[in-house]
A and B are shown apart, each in its own frame.
Chain A
Amino acid sequence: MSAANSPAQSAPRQSERTRVLENRPVNLDGFVEEWPEVGMVAMDSPYDPRPSVRVENGVIVEMDGKQRADFDFLDQFIADHAIDVEATERAMALSPVEIAHLLVDPKVSRGEVLAVSCGLTPAALLEVVKTMNVVEMMMALQKMRARRTPANQAHSTSARDNPIQVAADAAEAALRGFRELETTLGVVRYAPLVAIALQVGAQAGKPGALTQCALEEATELELGMRGITAYAETISVYGTEPVFCDGDDTPWSKTFLASAYASRGIKMRFTSGTGSEVQMGYAEGKSMLYLEIRCILVTKGAGVQGLQNGSISCIGVPGAVPAGIRAVLAENLIASTVDLECASGNDQSFSHSDMRRTARLLPQLLPGTDFVCSGYSAVPNYDNMFAGSNLDSEDYDDWNVIQRDLQVDGGLRHVPEAELLAVRNRAARALRGVFAYLDLPPITEKEIEAVTYAHGSNDLPLRDVLEDLKAAQSVMDRGVTGLDIVKGLEAGGFPDIAEALLGVLKQRISGDLLHTSAILTPELTTLSAINDANDYAGPGSGYRPSGERWEEMKRLRHVVSARNPEQELG
């Protein structure tokens, strides 16, 4: 062999540009080709069924090419509970393009679309969105979002499950504008203390911010029943029978669970997302979006008011295939199109590229959804116990600038440093009061001082974890409820936070929060798709940031006076 053929010398010379591109963060992301046979395809599989429906004696006897005797449990549930039998044959007679036009055309009202969408089968809904590009989908989402005013949801978690950190970050997040706050755990046994901390922090930050703790279904329900959390979201549904069973549930168990929450006056939504079935190995050769549409219709049929979707914790899967992020937008759109509240993902982190994660965000941020993020991380990435988020606490200023640049309301605002420090400090003190009242391990002055100025758990003193876990168990054993937290806040000298929490707990009596897309205003009034129904009807209509809210959105960390460029506006 001659020297010229040696491997070292035969490697082709690489351009300097290629070297630069190779080093771009986007090339750390994973991309795969499509493989429809195993469901590794976003929304266009040759194995997806063709739309069809046949009704006999008021019962759907054929759906999407399948006879009733061959229905799996999802088919049967959808046919019997989700689809309006009166409307289906008329709706299914329309072509997918005609229906897509109804969705995009601002002169067709949301109500007129719902009169059609209530009769569509999963395959028909899929065919409709397949005719739409992302701009058309955004136009449609702007109209189909259930609540007129968009909102946002944050994660407040801690790598050490430190309750003081969770309280302080929840307070900051609520003050910045989030109307829902979610936590979860590294060590599950910490849940009662962390859920209490989230609740106290949220009400210290801004009254009426609703809180939840993501846990196994039965435990999550128990914390809700006790009034330690205000709502629930981690009620997962799946698009094939084997995966649904692997999740240890069925559409009927989940429907019963939904009624259980409502019976205690507790708001809840389901969770689903493209990619979960292929990730769990049973996609039955169907596209990710087709299976997700089945989840959306199971949610509808269960009588649940809303859904968290947009791939969620499986975002790496659709994110890796062609048109995957278009499919993720399509699932948000379909949830809204069948009149569900949509908490639209943008949560789990999926890309190393800042450009790509922004591009993934805009389809929800620009049209607005009920919750643009169903988990904007209010903590640094290393503290996010949901495996990171597409947006985190380092992105607050970028988010505020994007809102101001585009005059689009993503639910947040810039808050001056002094206000943030005050509210973080106060949340930690309030939690200390509650812990003392409930005879839980003490919170020290040093911890309060540290959390006031901290960015993440690395900046905080370590807790005595064993003592905390013992205390967490005692919270469950002693039957501590939300009312005990109210009393603890009052006893600790925080009557306004106590009033806010009592106000949140009182919502259970009226059930107003059980309706579609409901949030609480800081005045503790319910705002939902009933008294704040989306009325978008084209240019000049619908929600547009204006007045006080727009003035608030104009403020940033650094804005200089136009008259005196030396001077920064506060």
Chain B
Amino acid sequence: MSSVELDPRRDYPLASNRPELLRTPTGKRLDDITMAAVLAGEITAEDLRITPETLRLQAQIADSVGRPQLGQNFRRAAELTALPDEKVLAIYNALRPRAATKQELIDIADDLERGYAATLCARLVREAADVYERRGVLADSGR
């Protein structure tokens, strides 16, 4: 969790103004991502990703410029950094209309919470399960 207090006018963009706060998921600094390092094979696709800590810093900035929904999106995203790409795509597909039963959605939410501490995403999926039930956009459970 971030304990840094950010002032958007002074600190944003973070890449220019607060690079010391930024790390890649493998612990590298922005300055470490050089062409020489790429050619030496020291940089992988994993290095070109955002960390949950950075997303929470950006959420703080979004909140402080009056964009709470954007901030919440970044906090959900922070949780999703832990999920592999295939799993993210699978959950997205399950949330499509009539793609999952209520139980399947609840299982996904439980997995998000227990397996990844993704409480905000789990809440979103549970909310979807309830609305889908009320509006008839769940999959038939008898299929």
A residues adjacent to B (C-beta < 8 A) = 72-73, 76-77, 81-82, 111, 114, 217-218, 221-222, 225-227, 241, 244-245, 248-250, 252-253, 255-265, 300-305, 339, 481-483, 486-487, 490, 495, 498-499, 502, 505-512, 514-516, 525-526, 528-531
Within 8 A of A (CB), among B34-58: 35, 38-39, 43-45, 47-50, 54-55, 57-58
Q: Which of A302, A502, A530 contacts B65 (CB 8 A)?
A: A530
User: Do A530 and B12 form a contact, CB below 8 Å, given A73-B131, A250-B132?
Assistant: yes
Bound: A263/B74 CA distance, A: 7
Assess the A502–B91 pair: CB atoms within 8 A. no
Q: Which of A256, A481, A483, A508 contacts B124 (CB 8 A)?
A: A256
B residues adjacent to A (C-beta < 8 A) = 8-9, 12-16, 19, 22, 24, 30, 33, 35, 38-39, 43-45, 47-50, 54-55, 57-58, 61-62, 65-67, 69-74, 76-81, 83, 85, 88-89, 91-93, 95-98, 121, 124-125, 127-128, 131-132, 135, 137
Determine the chain A residues whose CB is within 8 A of the CB of B13 once the complex forms.
Answer: 510, 512, 525-526, 528, 530-531
Assess the B48–A250 pair: CB atoms within 8 A. no
Assess the A483–B66 pair: CB atoms within 8 A. no
User: Do A302 and B73 form a contact, CB below 8 Å, given A263-B50, A487-B38?
Assistant: yes
Assess the B35–A490 pair: CB atoms within 8 A. yes
**Minimal Cβ-Cβ distance residue in B for A526:** B13
User: Do A339 and B66 form a contact, CB below 8 Å, given A259-B80, A508-B49?
Assistant: yes
Bound: A528/B97 CA distance, A: 34
Bound: A76/B130 CA distance, A: 11
Main secondary structure of the interface of A (DSSP, over half): helix
Assess the B35–A498 pair: CB atoms within 8 A. yes
Assess the A512–B38 pair: CB atoms within 8 A. no
Q: Which of B62, B83, B95 contacts A515 (CB 8 A)?
A: B62
Shortest Cβ distance from residue B71 to the other chain A in the assembled complex, whole angstroms? 7
Main secondary structure of the interface of B (DSSP, over half): helix
Bound: A256/B89 CA distance, A: 10
Determine the chain A residues whose CB is within 8 A of the CB of B77 once the complex forms.
Answer: 259-263
Bound: A487/B66 CA distance, A: 40
User: Do A218 and B38 form a contact, CB below 8 Å, given A506-B48, A509-B24, A511-B74?
Assistant: no
Shortest Cβ distance from residue A69 to the other chain B in the assembled complex, whole angstroms? 9
Assess the B69–A301 pair: CB atoms within 8 A. yes
Assess the B49–A248 pair: CB atoms within 8 A. no
Determine the chain B residues whose CB is within 8 A of the CB of A114 once the complex forms.
Answer: 66
Determine the chain B residues whose CB is within 8 A of the CB of A506 once the complex forms.
Answer: 15, 30, 33, 48
Assess the B62–A252 pair: CB atoms within 8 A. no
Bound: A241/B131 CA distance, A: 12
Bound: A73/B67 CA distance, A: 23
Known pairs A265-B49, A483-B45 / 6 extra A-B pairs, C-beta < 8 Å: A248-B97, A303-B69, A506-B33, A510-B22, A510-B30, A525-B16
Determine the chain A residues whose CB is within 8 A of the CB of B93 once the complex forms.
Answer: 218
Determine the chain B residues whose CB is within 8 A of the CB of A303 once the complex forms.
Answer: 69-74, 76
Determine the chain A residues whose CB is within 8 A of the CB of B132 once the complex forms.
Answer: 73, 250, 252
Q: Among A227, A262, A495, A515, which residue has the most Cβ atoms of chain B within 10 A?
A: A262
Assess the B96–A253 pair: CB atoms within 8 A. yes
Assess the A526–B89 pair: CB atoms within 8 A. no
Assess the A259–B69 pair: CB atoms within 8 A. no
Q: Among A82, A502, A514, A529, which residue has the most Cβ atoms of chain B within 10 A?
A: A514
Assess the B69–A81 pair: CB atoms within 8 A. yes
Bound: A257/B44 CA distance, A: 24
Determine the chain A residues whose CB is within 8 A of the CB of B62 once the complex forms.
Answer: 515
Assess the A531–B12 pair: CB atoms within 8 A. yes
Assess the B67–A339 pair: CB atoms within 8 A. yes
Determine the chain A residues whose CB is within 8 A of the CB of B76 once the complex forms.
Answer: 255-256, 259, 262-263, 303
Assess the B45–A227 pair: CB atoms within 8 A. yes
Determine the chain A residues whose CB is within 8 A of the CB of B125 once the complex forms.
Answer: 252, 256
**Minimal Cβ-Cβ distance residue in B for A264:** B49
Assess the B14–A252 pair: CB atoms within 8 A. no
Could you list some 28 contacts between A and B, CB below 8 A? A77-B131, A81-B69, A241-B135, A250-B131, A250-B132, A260-B80, A262-B73, A263-B77, A263-B83, A263-B88, A303-B72, A303-B74, A483-B44, A483-B45, A506-B15, A509-B33, A509-B47, A509-B48, A509-B49, A510-B19, A510-B22, A510-B30, A512-B58, A516-B70, A526-B16, A530-B12, A530-B65, A531-B13
Determine the chain B residues whose CB is within 8 A of the CB of A260 once the complex forms.
Answer: 77, 80, 88-89, 92
Assess the A502–B50 pair: CB atoms within 8 A. no
Determine the chain A residues whose CB is within 8 A of the CB of B35 once the complex forms.
Answer: 486, 490, 495, 498-499, 502
Determine the chain B residues whose CB is within 8 A of the CB of A305 once the complex forms.
Answer: 67, 70
**Minimal Cβ-Cβ distance residue in B for A498:** B35
Shortest Cβ distance from residue B80 to the other chain A in the assembled complex, whole angstroms? 4
